[in-house]
Amino acid sequence: MTTDKFWSTMAKRAEPYVPGLQLNNPDIIKLNTNENAYPPSPKVIEAIKDAASKDLQLYPSPTADRLKESIANHYSLSNDQVFVGNGSDEVLAFSFMAFFEPGETIKYPNITYSFYPVYAKLFDIPFEEVPLNDDLTIEPESLFQSDGGVIFPNPNAPTSLYMPLASVEAVIQANENKVVIVDEAYVDFAEASAASLVNKYKNLLVIKTTSKSRALAGLRVGYALGDQSLIKALIRMKDSFNSYTIDRLALAGATASFEDKDYFNQTTEKIVATRERATKQLEAIRFDVLPSATNFLFIRHDTENAAELYEKLLEKNILVRYFDVPLVNNYLRVTVGTNEQMDELVHKLKEIIE
Amino acid sequence: MTTDKFWSTMAKRAEPYVPGLQLNNPDIIKLNTNENAYPPSPKVIEAIKDAASKDLQLYPSPTADRLKESIANHYSLSNDQVFVGNGSDEVLAFSFMAFFEPGETIKYPNITYSFYPVYAKLFDIPFEEVPLNDDLTIEPESLFQSDGGVIFPNPNAPTSLYMPLASVEAVIQANENKVVIVDEAYVDFAEASAASLVNKYKNLLVIKTTSKSRALAGLRVGYALGDQSLIKALIRMKDSFNSYTIDRLALAGATASFEDKDYFNQTTEKIVATRERATKQLEAIRFDVLPSATNFLFIRHDTENAAELYEKLLEKNILVRYFDVPLVNNYLRVTVGTNEQMDELVHKLKEIIE
């Protein structure tokens, strides 16, 4: 029998995040955690194999300068405008610690990445969940004038919807004394990143990941772009928590990824093309498909119940994600896989519906 | 110019840890961060190369069950008595969050791992630094009856001194209502681990790392052993912070390490033999060498100043560690390298001293 006699107040009040299932069944088509449809660049795998034979007994670079430089070059920023961490979730956690304050209410959308309330509860930061518009877009004005700061994903998850950069800029301007975090896990599949605004606004932090567009979910490398002062605060948090958060292999692999631009562009274009193709296929069988700017689709059927569709798809070895929360509990979130996987999905959905 | 206008109270009060230098000069004999003198097992490198070619686009297991099982087997414990994290520093951070409380003073030795006050300040946990005995050993009774909990390394760092298990047990018994964390980063080079006490005491958490005895500092895998309730609290912290803290490559490599017992035993024995050999060599040139139970030596010369020795060794391409803190500021901490490296160290020290 488990007792919480020894738990701190923090351990007791925490309400942990529940990640999507990681099933080990190779027969399952896995469209539930928005992983890339393709493996990472062969150059990434080479770089990792090379690093595996070299000095694993030595600590990695605590400052990760080489990786930072590759990232800085990619966005035409300087090294001291880049922070790197163990996946964007860790970068988000450090950001909640560094920029948000117990007693000052932060704002984020009421339908969004479900890790935000987890961080807020862990660090005792009050939050206001502002309602989406009826079409499930984020209303920029709802994020204006926050007491404690703002965080939102762009594109938003799980809705897949993109907020134009002019609106993002309006949110930043309307919170000039607080940090605005734009969580861009999926932005490489969208129109434009707020990275281009980093030199313009001292209160903007853009958080990104290599897990989606760079096919490196298995490596755990996320990063943040922002003013030197914000980056310095994140480094302070990391160096007060864990000096070396990214191992030698992940440093080597992620650096190689940023240096192979062609592979990145090709796979991203393929996924966007499959997304548009799958959208049409799903609309043809009477799904409402939100206009996705990500590598997933948020879909709702005319007549079929989403929870039931989820179960029936799983019986047919297709795993998607279903969120049993108000407003979106009749939607399914479906990762954009390969054309073949999406054909199979549509085929099975037809079998279920008919 | 950097401004801290946007920093939280936590970011402002943090006093980050400063890790040992990671110089990239291959001519330097690096004896400053207690890395293993030998590379990891060839089976570890094979396992990593194999994992690099497989599914890096997919998230790692958030529960790391296979690695936990290898560790549990090694210590004859069950999976739910094992927690794994991104290096033992991350495990320590989660432990401060899960078991220590603002307002309740914890105890640790006044000469010890310098990350403890960093965590305490970050999470606003009051602490009492209890004095070592004159011979630099930890006085077990000084850690009795703490308000908030206890943490100490065994063997202690940077002193290299080991506390016998009976004394460790006395500390655990004298704090039955609070968690006692025994930080065993170096214990594989010592007599015995408190892992054998995990089934006996519900308030004991033993924290370990693969960075030292398993030569995997570059991989970032640490772990904790304890009662199911303590492990559950750590999992809650991790799942409120970062779902996947250990990447696919580190999971594969660390698992392979626990499965190759022969290599582990052989390299550990070699390092212990070199330690005893180097101790005699250093004593012959009038160093006082504390009786080390680790893979490093804490040494003080009869007449030479430690800070000056540090600088002179660095000029001769040997990097050791010097701590400019009271009580030990005339000591050097020297990692036990290979016999050849230690011969070279002794040779250079002779040149300096004579």
Check residue A348 and give its pLDDT.
97
d(CA A184, CA A190): 10
**Res B347 pLDDT > 50:** yes
Nearest to B230 by CA among B288, B146, B172: B172
Average pLDDT score over residue span A195-224 = 98
For residue A275, the SS3 value is helix
Nearest to B152 by CA among B195, B207, B227: B207
Beta carbons of A58 and B22 less than 8 Å apart:
yes
**Res A218 pLDDT > 60:** yes
Average pLDDT score over residue span A154-164 = 97
Beta carbons of B11 and A233 less than 8 Å apart:
yes
- Smallest CA–CA distance, residue A243 to chain B, in Å, is 7
Partners of residue A30 in chain B, C-beta under 8 Å = 58
Check residue A1 and give its pLDDT.
44
Average pLDDT score over residue span A207-229 = 98
Per-residue model confidence as pLDDT tens digits over B3-32? 699 999 999 999 999 877 777 788 999 999
Beta strands in A98-159 (DSSP E): 106-109, 127-130, 149-153
Check residue B18 and give its pLDDT.
87
Confidence band of B2 (pLDDT split at 50, 70, 90): low
Domain residue spans of chain A? 9-39+262-353, 42-260
How far is CA B229 from its chain centroid?
A: 24
Beta carbons of B87 and A242 less than 8 Å apart:
yes
d(CA A24, CA A22): 7
d(CA B294, CA A123): 37
Average pLDDT score over residue span B297-319 = 97
Residue A22 corresponds to which tokens in the numbers above?
Answer: 């990681």
A238-269 CB burial, b ≥16 within 10 A, e <16:
bbbbbbbbbbbbbbbbbbbbbbbeebbeebbe
**How many residue contacts between A and B have a Cβ separation below 8 Å?**
286
Same fold across A9-39+262-353 and A42-260 = no
Beta carbons of A60 and B16 less than 8 Å apart:
no
Confidence band of A128 (pLDDT split at 50, 70, 90): very high
Check residue A19 and give its pLDDT.
79
Q: DSSP state, B282?
A: H
Beta carbons of B40 and A48 less than 8 Å apart:
no
- Phi and psi at B3, nearest 5°, equal -120, 145
d(CA A65, CA A76): 15
Average pLDDT score over residue span A27-46 = 96
Cα-Cα-Cα-Cα torsion A75, A76, A80, A83, nearest 10 degrees, comes to 10
Beta carbons of B229 and A119 less than 8 Å apart:
no
- Dihedral angle sign, alpha carbons of residues B305, B310, B315, B316: positive
Partners of residue A119 in chain B, C-beta under 8 Å = 240-241
What is the phi-psi region of residue B178: left when phi exceeds 0, alpha when psi lies from -120 to 50, beta otherwise? beta
Beta carbons of B45 and A52 less than 8 Å apart:
yes
Q: How many residues does chain B have?
A: 354
CB B341 within 8 A of CB B29: yes
Partners of residue A45 in chain B, C-beta under 8 Å = 52-53, 56
Q: What is the ipTM of this complex?
A: 0.96
Partners of residue A236 in chain B, C-beta under 8 Å = 11, 14, 16
- Does domain A42-260 correspond to CATH entry 3.40.640.10? yes
Average pLDDT score over residue span A103-128 = 97
Per CATH, the number for A9-39+262-353 is 3.90.1150.10
Instruction: Please indicate whether residue B21 or residue A236 has the higher confidence score (pLDDT).
Output: A236
Beta carbons of A233 and B4 less than 8 Å apart:
yes
Check residue B23 and give its pLDDT.
76
Partners of residue A237 in chain B, C-beta under 8 Å = 10-11, 14, 122
Check residue A82 and give its pLDDT.
98
Distances in Å between the Cα of B199 and the Cα atoms of A208, B78, B182, B233, B319 are: 43, 10, 15, 17, 41
The reply to whether the predicted model has a pTM over 0.95 is: yes
Of B22, B121, B243, the CB nearest to A89: B243
Average pLDDT, chain B: 96
Per-residue model confidence as pLDDT tens digits over A180-190? 999 999 999 99
For residue A300, the SS3 value is strand
Check residue B1 and give its pLDDT.
44
Check residue A22 and give its pLDDT.
74
Confidence band of A3 (pLDDT split at 50, 70, 90): low
What Rg, from alpha-carbon coordinates, does chain A have? 20
**Res A304 pLDDT > 80:** yes
Confidence band of A249 (pLDDT split at 50, 70, 90): very high
Average pLDDT score over residue span A24-49 = 94
Q: Can you list the alpha helix ranges (DSSP code H) found in chain B?
A: 9-13, 42-52, 65-74, 87-99, 116-122, 165-173, 228-239, 248-259, 261-284, 306-315, 339-353
Of A38, A52, A58, the CB nearest to B217: A58
